[in-house]
Amino acid sequence: MVYAYLAKVNKRWLAIPLCSAIAGIVAYIMGADFAFTTGPGLPHFSPFYWWGEDTGWQLGWPNLEHFIAVIPFALLAVAMWSPDYLGHRVFQELNYPKDAKGVLMDVDDTMVGASVRQGVGALLGGGNLASSWGTYMIPAAIAKRPIPGGAILTGIMCILASVLGYPMDLAMWEPVLRVALIVGVFLPLLEAGMQMIHKHKDSLSAGICIFACAFVNPVFGWATTMLLDNMGLIGDHERADSLSAKDKYLIPGLAFVVCVGSLAAVGQLPGIPAIIGQ
């Protein structure tokens, strides 16, 4: 309701701080546990600490089952980079004035920078997937703020918060974190996506994808929708007819087999026990 009202009065840039504050206050009043436990200091910068068996994440080196388990999600992440970046670019175009200069991100440069960040972050113990920083890009576009300057300020504030420690407890508290993601990323992207669906064939593909993602998982939904759409069973039939046999059957078929096979092998399909690792 708060987000809908802010959207009506063109104050959606207030959604994250206001909704997060409301969520935190209500959760605390209702008895949710919260305490400041992270003291000031620098985190560990050694990869051996984070990826050790008894330190950091305490995961150690992965075995075959772990590699198989992440294959479909790695394919989904890489395949979704391009539409994810383009979606953020479109979202910027929808929100920034037409005559604004220097506000639209360069997709190629952003992908390169995000990929480098992903490699460094993973080496130092991060669990992030490379993206165009949608949790910042989307709210910045909503508020119509300059992206480069805002990114620098946000980065500095994130470093200060991590060194101080205590703000991280509040930022990672489940009621605050989840509500911030819902009103700052998911709802705006859903809103932008609905604005781009103008034809019944597009809504059919989107509906099948959302349904499959909700009842199985996002990887299955993406692979299934891509296969059906490229084969011309749903979506734009004229586009499917213009595809070569490789693009129409081979590539989406292989992606579907690899994704679903990997999910089945490690027990990530509902109702199907894991084939390996038992």
Residue 55, pLDDT score: 83
Q: What global pTM score does this model have? A: 0.62
Average pLDDT for the chain? 80
Residue 132, pLDDT score: 59
Percent of the chain beyond pLDDT 90? 3
Q: Is 273 exposed, middle or buried (0-12, 13-18, 19+ CB in 10 A)?
A: exposed
Question: Is residue 147 a part of any domain in this protein?
Answer: no
Question: Is residue 162 a part of any domain in this protein?
Answer: no
Residues 6+ apart with CB under 8 A from 178: 23
Lowest mean pLDDT among 50-59, 87-96, 134-143: 134-143
Residue 160, pLDDT score: 92
Question: Is residue 23 a part of any domain in this protein?
Answer: yes
Question: Is residue 41 a part of any domain in this protein?
Answer: no
Question: Is residue 85 a part of any domain in this protein?
Answer: no
Residue 192, pLDDT score: 67
Other Cβ atoms closer than 10 A to 264: 15
Other Cβ atoms closer than 10 A to 82: 11
Residue 154, pLDDT score: 83
**Arithmetic mean of pLDDT, 31-49:** 85
DSSP letter string, the chain: -HHHHHHHTT-GGGHHHHHHHHHHHHHHHTT--------SSPPP--HHHHTSSSSTT---S--HHHHHHHHHHHHHHHHHHHHHHHHHHHHHHHHS-TT--S-SPPHHHHHHHHHHHHHHHHHTT--------HHHHHHHHHHT--HHHHHHHHHHHHHHHHHH-HHHHHHTSHHHHHHHHIIIIIHHHHHHHHHT--SHHHHHHHHHHHHHHHHT-HHHHHHHHHHHHHHTSSS-HHHHHTS-HIIIIIHHHHHHHHHHHHHHHTT-STT---SS--
Question: Is residue 9 a part of any domain in this protein?
Answer: yes
Number of domains in the chain: 1
**Arithmetic mean of pLDDT, 146-161:** 84
Question: Is residue 115 a part of any domain in this protein?
Answer: no
Spatial separation of the C-alpha atoms in residues 44 and 50, rounded to whole Å:
8
With a cut of 70, say whether residue 46 has pLDDT above it. Answer: yes
pLDDT per residue as tens digits for the range 119-146:
888 788 776 665 656 667 777 777 777 7
Question: Which structural domain, as residue segments, surrounds residue 27?
Answer: 1-34+174-196
Tokens encoding 256: 């579907």
Question: Is residue 183 a part of any domain in this protein?
Answer: yes
Place 26 in a pLDDT band, splitting at 50, 70 and 90. Answer: very high
pLDDT per residue as tens digits for the range 160-181:
988 998 888 888 888 988 888 8
